[in-house]
Structure 1
Amino acid sequence: MAPVRDAAPNYLEKHGPTYRVSYPIPKDLQKRFGKMRLKASLGTGDLRKAHRLKTQFIARFDEQIELVRAAIRLERGSAEDKAKLLKSILAQPDLDPAGIASARMDIELEYQGLLGKPISHEFIVHDDGEEDQYPIYEPSREANANLFLSKVQPSLEEKLDAFVETWIDTKLEKRTKRTKEDTRRAVRYLKDWCKSKNLPLDVAKMTSVTASDFLDDFEGVSGGLQGITRAKYLNRLSMLWVRLRQKGWVTTNIWDDYRIEIPARNERSLERAFRMDEVRRLFRGNPPDKLRDVMMIGLVTGARLDAIVSMKVGDVLPGRLRFEPRKKEIKERFVPIHPLLHPMLKRRTSGKSPQDDLFPDWPAPKQKDSLRERSFKASNAFTDYRRKCGVDEVVDGDRRSKVNFHSFRRWFITHMRRIAPLDMVQSIVGHSHGNEADDTYVSTGPLFDKARRYIWALPIPPDNDDYVPEPDGVNLYDTELTQEKSKRRRKYA
């Protein structure tokens, strides 16, 4: 008995108690398929459900038909057309392993067809007595076959670019957007150098000599970048080679034996914590509320600026603040709330949902692919304000000031360390303890109530116009600073 089809051409037919899809094959392909229709059971007798299920089968049938058409074009086309088609097939990002194997088989068949039969053979006897036989092909046919391979297979540059992108997107490479872009930029520097030297970008043939020559020219290739920045790119190349070695692309890490010399910074040029009077001046300088608020959190929590401006209202919990991990931190941190923060936090959380930004006045970059951190504008605004307050210190020959927003974190650590144990300070600011007992097993850290007492005991500079002297530690900054402090004390005495 013939199957019963619905009157409408919806590609469904009743087959026993269930429905199945029955899809017509174009007439010009029916001989190739050996049948007139493609069919698949839907496993349901419910017509509505069958209508919902048929769509995915129809799409699959269309793909099968298109693949057969592509195979026919491949058979009839020229070697160049076949190369373009096969290369486009291999470039599909969602191509499954079966599709890759099929395309590679087509490449091999076409390559062997272009080579033809060997015209002779060469016999080579090795030192161990083993004998190998190598076929010799007609030179023009071999040249055409190799030309076909060069067109169908991605270039060395394309292969490396694809590998880099795949590596960057894996869970093994847990990095910020900016660090991922550093990897791409490092590879671009290497590619530019290879082109300038007329060298192929073949990582398998690169040696330590290649690495040495590249590093000799790196400053010029990179446009005169500073040593510390070039060292960063060298590190990204070294990390890439580690991954290439794991995948069998290379046998050694050619960058292992090389380091970029970074001029040592003396103590006078090191970035430092804010001094007590500098903190007083920063808060007495009438900063805008959106800047004062992040400054206050930085002062009494030691949190990084990006972690502060990225907070949500839901990160303000009873008695504590939650900060998402930054830098090398692997988990969120909870820091006791200092009493100075209560009025500001109440103002910023009142009437808002937990998903709202705590600092909407410092929004994230509008462009999703921007490499700038959310704190970029806040950092620039603070730098301008800091200089306006006269809080600055630049050593001759240095580009950066010795003080910046991170100096709040240094201030917090400095003064906490004078009143609290080391493990307490490390736990609050998210530093590694450097031992397995604290970093792995004592995962909850010191007691929260103790941390609260230490934070509440921080020596916050008074909110007035009186100069606040710097308490002397064991290691004074330098003799010049000591003399300057003595003069100020006499002035304000």
Structure 2
Amino acid sequence: MAGKSSKGARRLLDLRGQTWWFRLAIPEACRDYFSKKTMYLESLQTGDIKIAMAKRDVLETEVRKLFARVKAGEVISSAEERAELRGALTRAAIQEAQQERDYDALHDIVNAAEVEADRLREKARERFERAIAGDHPVDHFLEAYLTAIKLAPKTTNERRGLINKFTRWCTVEKLRLPDITRKAAGRYVTEIIEPMDRSTAKKHMTALRGYWEYLIKRGHVTGKVEDNPWLGQEVSNNRRRVERGDGETERPFTEKELKTLLYSDYPEGMDVDHQQQIVDALRISALSGMRMAEVLTLWVEEVHDDVFDIQQGKTRSAARKVPIHPDLKEIVARRTEGKGPKSWLFHELAEERDPGDTFGKRFNRYRKHLEVDDVRPGKRRSLVNFHSARRWFITQARHAEQPRETIKDVVGHVADKKKDITFGVYTQGASREQMRGCVEAVNLPTAVEAQSRR
């Protein structure tokens, strides 16, 4: 049908006469708020497809956020919310006209905005004018950003927490989006980020840089990508005093620790329903090098032809086929029996809101009950955790004299193409036989020396 398409440039756009309209289905849970309507419609007041697309992108973000707030039961003034939406649309139209240097259109848009502001009531007018100015709270576009970047749930929650920490600081300092200049960013780095542990500080800077890059690209803040106020704000390690314990990093399990975790009696006071999933997941990670999220979210159809066929993950290199170690075949057979293709291998976690977080907490309680812990002064986290099983696999593969490049392919580590042209650019990675040889070179310690604990 002319003027409509669910894909491509005209997505969510509907041409009516000479004017483009925004058209988005209203979720059933939100229809009472929209007077039982099933479709959200808004005139974009333009016949130019490019301007319509720019307005569409802004409006889609805002309307989806409105849907989420309605679903959450938040009480929202429809008049004020729609005023803010129209303000965001006007801002997009102004930016588009400025980029096209269409000063006649710019004059018309500004005049129309002034007329609209005059007819709005106090609160609605304030929100309309703030939207035009891009004057929002710092976290106003946070959920849209997190949806756009499509990170793993654990990393998404981590980014949300870091940016919310900055938002709380901005609230105390009475700063909003337009106020975040390089100077304001520098103050935050000096007061909050510099005293942090280096690894935490790096994650904080990555989150803020990424969020601001998104804001700039989407036109929510003015400037070019190189104007990002967080660029160049890091404090290099060589400007920081070295303290005792700075070299202590998270590590693999020792052989004794792994034996304790694998072969000890299940701790009293813990839910026995969790025992099998903990031991199974630990064995799979220790004999494959797979990350926790990769182990826990496997579908049955992704376990075939003697491989774990990982389709998604932390990086592009995460998608790979990991040979199934012979010692894992009993676990695989037990966990796939009688299940459909889309069933989870760890079905007991499928209904959890955040499977990784839930399982991680269970595993940490388990290892602490068994006194497998390594907390050092000045360190917030234990130096051993579930990821130590992945580190143990990598260490054992290296001790078995497996090629470094093959180990990287098995565990899904990114090859540095700039540093290694030969293996990073001109090869297709390890063969299936090489990867199987690497996996089978690693074996779990036997239970002979493990002590029972109660």
Coarse TM-score class (shorter-chain normalised): 0.5 to 0.7
| Post-superposition CA distance 1:380-425 (Å, at most 9, x none) | 2222222333322222332322211111111110111122111110
- Relative to the length of structure 1, the TM-score reads 0.58
Instruction: Tell me which residue corresponds to 1:428.
Output: 410
Separation in 2, partners of 1:195, 1:301: 46
Separation in 2, partners of 1:113, 1:384: 59
- State the SS of the aligned residue for 1:465: coil
Aligned-residue offset at 1:431: 0.8
Match of 1:239 among 205, 210, 218: 210
Instruction: Tell me which residue corresponds to 2:69.
Output: none
- State the SS of the aligned residue for 1:232: helix
Match of 2:303 among 302, 316, 320: 316
Matched residue type, 2:397? M
Aligned-residue offset at 1:307: 1.0
Separation in 1, partners of 2:170, 2:42: 43
- State the SS of the aligned residue for 2:222: coil
Question: Are residues 199 and 460 of structure 1, via their aligned partners in 2, closer, same or farther at CA, if it must alter by over 3 Å?
Answer: closer
Separation in 2, partners of 1:242, 1:212: 17
Matched residue type, 1:383? N
Superposition pairs for residues 240-259 of structure 1, below 5 Å?
240-246=211-217, 247=219, 249-251=222-224, 252-259=227-234
How many correspondences in the alignment?
Answer: 349
Matched residue type, 2:407? V
| Post-superposition CA distance 1:33-91 (Å, at most 9, x none) | xxxxxx9xxxxxxxxxxxxxxxxxxx99x9899x9xxxxxxxxxxxxxxx969726616
Aligned-residue offset at 1:342: 1.4
Separation in 2, partners of 1:453, 1:200: 56
| Post-superposition CA distance 1:154-183 (Å, at most 9, x none) | 34433865555544443xx23234544555
Match of 2:344 among 350, 357, 360: 357
Q: Residues 137 and 177 of structure 2 are in contact (CA less than 8 Å); yes or no, is this contact kept in structure 1?
A: no
Separation in 1, partners of 2:203, 2:317: 22
Match of 1:458 among 424, 427, 442: 442
Percent identical among aligned pairs is 23
Separation in 2, partners of 1:457, 1:200: 56
Q: Residues 311 and 359 of structure 1 are in contact (CA less than 8 Å); yes or no, is this contact kept in structure 2?
A: yes
- Relative to the length of structure 2, the TM-score reads 0.63
Instruction: Tell me which residue corresponds to 1:348.
Output: 335
| Post-superposition CA distance 1:356-394 (Å, at most 9, x none) | 11111233424xxxxx4x122322222222233332222
Matched residue type, 1:379? G
- State the SS of the aligned residue for 2:309: strand
Q: Residues 268 and 395 of structure 1 are in contact (CA less than 8 Å); yes or no, is this contact kept in structure 2?
A: no
- State the SS of the aligned residue for 2:349: coil
Question: Are residues 108 and 188 of structure 1, via their aligned partners in 2, closer, same or farther at CA, if it must alter by over 3 Å?
Answer: farther
Aligned-residue offset at 1:426: 0.6
- State the SS of the aligned residue for 1:400: coil
Instruction: Tell me which residue corresponds to 2:83.
Output: 87
- State the SS of the aligned residue for 1:391: coil
Question: Are residues 157 and 270 of structure 1, via their aligned partners in 2, closer, same or farther at CA, if it must alter by over 3 Å?
Answer: same
Instruction: Tell me which residue corresponds to 1:212.
Output: 186
Separation in 2, partners of 1:399, 1:359: 30
| Post-superposition CA distance 1:427-457 (Å, at most 9, x none) | 10001222255445533x2121232233223
Structure with max Cα Rg: 1
Aligned-residue offset at 1:279: 2.1
| Post-superposition CA distance 1:312-349 (Å, at most 9, x none) | 11122122122243222445221111111112211111
- State the SS of the aligned residue for 2:308: strand
Match of 1:442 among 427, 431, 435: 427
Structure 2 unaligned regions, length at least 5: 1-16, 18-36, 46-78, 98-104, 267-274
Separation in 2, partners of 1:458, 1:452: 10
Instruction: Tell me which residue corresponds to 1:403.
Output: 384
